Amino acid sequence: MPRGEGSAVGAKDTKKTNAMRELERAGVAYTEHVYEVDESDLSGVHVCAQLGEDPGAVFKTLVCSTSSGSHVVCCIPVAEELDLKAAARVLGEKSLSMVHVRDLVGLTGYVRGGCSPVGMKKSFPTVIDETCILYDTIYVSGGRRGLQVELAPDDLVRVTGAQVAAITRE
């Protein structure tokens, strides 16, 4: 595994994002993976195809509102669908709903297709789908479109303070 400064795969000169800076501050080893962005297809499955990776190992970051008006973060494999009821139970909430894309930047500092669970404007309760433990390393957004970071699931859990639980639909 690379050292905490990160190493770039497919990049000539990758500028540091908030996510990368936070990983480095926490001493987390990660690898940067740069890929071609297709603005007409920002799906995680497209990202997997660009990276040549298993869709089970590439996680998307979803931001939700709670019934009490706060916000939470859920990370699930890109080809899966979030089970809002299961995630609400894990987080001790009555219910969850997806945050509208227009509110994403204001809440997190990140745009759709570049939202990382690391380095958001504010720290939110986070839950990562339990399938993350099936992999030595997983991929999450590096904090901008066209950039993924690969890191150990345990490191992601530690740096985000996340819970690990079953939160995808069967």
Tell me how far apart the alpha carbons of residues 152 and 66 are, in angstroms, rounded to a whole number: 28
Q: The domain 7-165: what is its CATH number?
A: 3.90.960.10
Cα Rg for the chain, rounded, in angstroms? Answer: 15
Tell me how far apart the alpha carbons of residues 84 and 93 are, in angstroms, rounded to a whole number: 10
Look at the block and give the residue holding tokens 């905490």.
4
User: Per residue of the chain (170 residues), what is the pLDDT tens digit?
Assistant: 444 445 555 444 568 999 999 999 999 999 999 988 877 776 778 888 888 899 999 999 999 999 999 999 999 999 999 999 999 999 999 999 999 999 999 999 999 989 999 999 999 999 999 999 999 999 999 999 889 999 999 999 999 999 999 999 97
* Whole-structure pTM value: 0.89
Q: Quick check: 6 and 24 in contact, CB under 8 A?
A: yes
51 bridge partner residues: none
Q: Quick check: 5 and 24 in contact, CB under 8 A?
A: yes
Tell me how far apart the alpha carbons of residues 119 and 19 are, in angstroms, rounded to a whole number: 4
Domain layout of the chain by residue ranges: 7-165
Look at the block and give the residue holding tokens 């970071």.
149
- Please name the residue ranges forming H helices in the chain: 18-25, 44-51, 84-91, 101-108, 153-160
Tell me how far apart the alpha carbons of residues 48 and 46 are, in angstroms, rounded to a whole number: 5
